[in-house]
Amino acid sequence: MKRSFSPYKIQRVSLLLASTCVLPVAWAQNMAQSPTTYPPVQVVDTALEYRQFEKVEITGSSIVRKEQTQALPVQVITRDDIRRSGASSMVDVLHKLPIMSMVVNSAAMTTTIGGYTTASLRGLPAGTLLLLNGKRLSSYGRQSVFGVDRPSVDINTVPLSAIEKIEILSDGASSLYGSDAIAGVINIITRTEQKGFEIAAETLGTSQGGGQGHQITLNAGKGSLRKDGYSLRLTAELFHRDPLQGSERPQYAQGRYVVERDGQQYAIDGGRLTSYATPGVFFQPANAADGTPRKVFSLLHQDGQCPSGYVPMLGQPSCQYNAYSALTIYPQQDSRKLLLHGEKWLGDGTTAYAEVLHAQLTDGEMAGQGWRQLVYSLGPSPDSVGVQEALRAGLDPAKTQFLWSPSLLHGLKRAYEQNNWRVATGLKGEWAGWDYKAELYRAQAKVTRRLEVTDFVGQGLVSGRVLTDPNMLKPLTADNPLTATLNGLRNVWNTWDEGTTHTTVGHVRASRPLMEIEGKDVMLGTGLEWRREGTDYRHVSNTEQQPSFQAERDIQAAYLELQLPVTPQWDVTASTRWDRYSDLGTTHNSKLASRYDFDNGWSARVSWGTGFRAPSLAQMQDVSKLYAVGTTTYINECSPDMLSVAARLSTSQDRTVSCAKSAMTIYGTGNPDLKPELSTQKSLGLAYRPTRNFSVTADWWSIDMRDVISTMADAAVYADPIQYEKFYLMQSNGTLAMRLPNYNIGQRKKSGIDFDVRWRAPTDMGQWNLFVQGTYNLKSQDQSAPGQAFVSDLARYNSITDTITPRLRLRWIAGLSTATWSLHGALNYTSGYADQDRSGVNLATLQSTPLTGFAVPSFTTLDLHAAYQISPAVSLRATLGNALNRQAPQAFTSTAGQVFGFNTREHALWGRNFSVGLVARF
């Protein structure tokens, strides 16, 4: 009787054993013990012959090779690593890595950055290149003309369940990838094959309420490229999470914090404490002529106390509304993602493949805007609304203003809707000794920003009128008719602006061995790339915001890479790339790397290279229409130098330019003369791996950047108006203002040490695991203009760049995995830093006083993850994030407009959170 085996079993058993000579030895021993003979094995269906099946592609190299050894520091996060971490999204996976800092997350929706989430190697979001299967995605669709707003790819675009591994090259890679890879590359690699169906359902929640959600994922696959000559794989993911409101985390929405210095108490107020409230506030301004002081009175102020949602106004019998309690910390999140991948073996060593990715992402239902603020005067009659209340408060009705806004109603909402996709197709294989890949793909990212608007004018709610509605003197309760009127104005959404970016790429690369040196191949890799980038921004509303624009450019590139084995233990790799931009000209970048393997388990690696980041198309737009981007935080005192600037502007404009003693308006624009940011990267690493179950690596790295794109700090322009006279202009009302375009004016220096320890111990119980990852930053400093001193943000706040780089970030993961269950814990640590200086009001003297020496302590959280295999087809998993419910430390660095007193870039504000998921396979 003959036995037949599938090719898959033949490969897994017969061929493997035969190649190691185990099978012949076993047969010889059996035959010596017994005369029994065995029938020959018959292979019924052979696997496809395609030698590139046994070769691998590595992030940071254009060479397809047999071994995953190289001279560059590449961290690999496997599917097992992701499972052990308990992550539910790409944000969970990447943002907790020590190598990340200064990330942009959904809490930053109210800034010019917009509603998206980035990865940020070395604290450089604009220097981190994100790839999906080695190919670019289109950058975030809503690009900004002004300032350092340089969107990268939204990492939420990729479904987590489709990922096979994530390779992170923590070294510059412009010599192979071109722009945006100054800090490194994150290459997300998806699974290409799967048998059957897999359905996963997960529920999310928090112990303090808010943030509830769910996720449903479908993975389906058919075929094996080796066995069947084709493979198809589908991933579909639905995700929803409720918003986290300030009212659900009152510890983060106080609005006022009291600190102590030298036995004195000081109050520090956030910018969203306001006297515009309901009931309205009576305000009598100071009059220097007759010595009348400023007076403020609120009907809510009773016996020196204010109701919930308000704080007492210092030195006045009034209450200020705390708008933070009515705003959203994290928005509602909804997403629908689809990834389809297929491969077909064409014969003669060639495989065709195609891939479709589509993601609809919504960061919305976020209360991030305040209601309109109105100012009324009081009528002349004693019976006029509000007159008697003003008299009882000791105010002069004729000089009194009434400040009103519908507080205690949730803030007006905003939403960002993304529609991102990428379609790719290509061929890969082996021809005439070359391993090649030729691909063509197009990606697009579209963002629509929508705002909830209210028609105050249609209801007669307009500033500058006499107060006539007595309901404005009452709280907005259910029995107040004004409450129903205001609520009836809600849920009217207008499109504010739309932005689209697109990227089209044609790419061909190939590699082959040239010769052998002492048994090792000399390898050559080469490639050609054509890329077209475009952006289209359309401002829909008629307000003074960023004007609409369109732009497009072409990029042609060619690169070479040579891997030379100097000795069996010593490899040297050199790579170089030329890029030609239709709007910037040509740039050339190279890299040299080397690795040496010692005989005792040690190895060393070193690299040097140059890099660049091209300015975004938006940053190069010199828009003709001025638009205001903000105001100075100080009052213009109209110094003699400032008056001289105004006088010369009056002459050139043939119109009188006045200097107003007030905060100055700042106008922004791009600059078509921008050059690329340039960089030099260096790294030196040591690794020790005495066994396959234990390894230690440490890498020193350094990044020096020049021609950094920034704007002149308005404080510097104000301090020396004669030197920076070109930055001043006359605005439409005839007053002096600033215009601050983008310039290549800065330098940046960063360095640090990354380290990684991995230990596994197989036992009869199961496998014990211990992983330690960390980044210790040695330098992080910026020069904002030529000739100025470098200013550091290492473990301290840098007011010029508005950044902080923690000295140390650590992540420990330890646990046990068995055949049926696993339990792991992850400890996340971020070191403390010196915070931003603030001014506080002395509660005894009511004088504003500059305060320094704010220290933000370190922050540590513990995550727990457990998994249980109920049956071969069903598994259960559970995660408890921030298990000890650690609260974020107080920090006055403003990182999100709707949160004051806490750093949302470095610390999550969810508190203790959990997820429970069930996975079924068919």
CATH topology classification for 74-247+330-369+413-454+490-632+665-833+850-921: Maltoporin; Chain A (2.40.170)
Task: Record the tokens describing residue 209, joined without a space.
Answer: 């309420």
Q: How confident is the model at residue 144 (pLDDT cuts 50, 70, 90)?
A: confident
Average pLDDT over residues 459-479: 89
- Average pLDDT of the chain? 87
Distance CA 8, CA 227 (A): 7
| 112, pLDDT greater than 70 | no
Rg (CA), the chain: 32
| pLDDT at residue 31 in the model | 35
Q: How confident is the model at residue 66 (pLDDT cuts 50, 70, 90)?
A: low
| pLDDT at residue 714 in the model | 84
| pLDDT: which is higher, 188 or 16 | 188
| pLDDT: which is higher, 80 or 354 | 354
The full length of the chain comes to 922
Taking Cα atoms as reference points, which of 35, 111, 15, 78 lies closest to residue 904?
111
pLDDT tens digits, one per residue of 410-460: 778 888 899 999 999 999 999 998 999 999 999 999 999 888 888 787 677
| pLDDT at residue 701 in the model | 97
| pLDDT at residue 13 in the model | 34
Distance CA 897, CA 799 (A): 17
| 7, pLDDT greater than 70 | no
Q: How confident is the model at residue 326 (pLDDT cuts 50, 70, 90)?
A: confident
| 468, pLDDT greater than 90 | yes
Average pLDDT over residues 381-385: 93
Distance CA 549, CA 411 (A): 31
The helix (H) or strand (E) run that includes residue 8 is helix 7-9
| pLDDT at residue 151 in the model | 66
| Tokens 């690794």 found at | 687
| pLDDT at residue 67 in the model | 58
Distance CA 603, CA 753 (A): 17
Average pLDDT over residues 464-481: 91
Task: Record the tokens describing residue 288, joined without a space.
Answer: 């220097």
H helix intervals, 342-402: 387-392
| 405, pLDDT greater than 80 | yes
pLDDT tens digits, one per residue of 562-611: 999 999 899 999 999 999 999 999 999 999 999 999 988 999 999 999 99
| pLDDT at residue 662 in the model | 86
Distance CA 734, CA 728 (A): 12
| pLDDT at residue 25 in the model | 31
Distance CA 628, CA 545 (A): 7
Average pLDDT over residues 827-846: 94
162-166, 274-278, 624-628, 898-902: least confidently modelled range: 624-628
pLDDT tens digits, one per residue of 16-61: 333 333 333 333 333 333 344 444 444 444 444 444 455 678 888 8
| pLDDT at residue 35 in the model | 41
Contacts of 553 (CB under 8 A, 6+ apart): 532, 533, 534, 581, 582, 583, 584, 617
pLDDT tens digits, one per residue of 302-315: 888 898 889 999 99
Q: What percent of the chain has pLDDT over 70?
A: 91
Q: What are φ and ψ of residue 115, in 5° steps?
A: -95, 80
| pLDDT at residue 15 in the model | 33
In the chain, the amino acid numbered 282 is F
Distance CA 184, CA 167 (A): 11
Rounded to two decimals, the pTM is 0.88
In the chain, the amino acid numbered 751 is S
Q: How confident is the model at residue 123 (pLDDT cuts 50, 70, 90)?
A: confident
Q: Are 406 and 476 in contact (CB under 8 A)?
A: yes
| pLDDT: which is higher, 54 or 850 | 850
Q: Where are the domains of the chain?
A: 4-47, 74-247+330-369+413-454+490-632+665-833+850-921, 254-326+372-405+461-485
| pLDDT: which is higher, 69 or 248 | 248
Q: Are 358 and 420 in contact (CB under 8 A)?
A: yes
| pLDDT: which is higher, 150 or 708 | 708
| pLDDT at residue 623 in the model | 77
| pLDDT at residue 149 in the model | 59
| 669, pLDDT greater than 90 | no
Pairing of strands 184-190, 128-132: parallel
| 124, pLDDT greater than 70 | yes
| pLDDT at residue 544 in the model | 58
pLDDT tens digits, one per residue of 857-895: 999 999 999 999 999 999 999 999 999 999 999 998 877
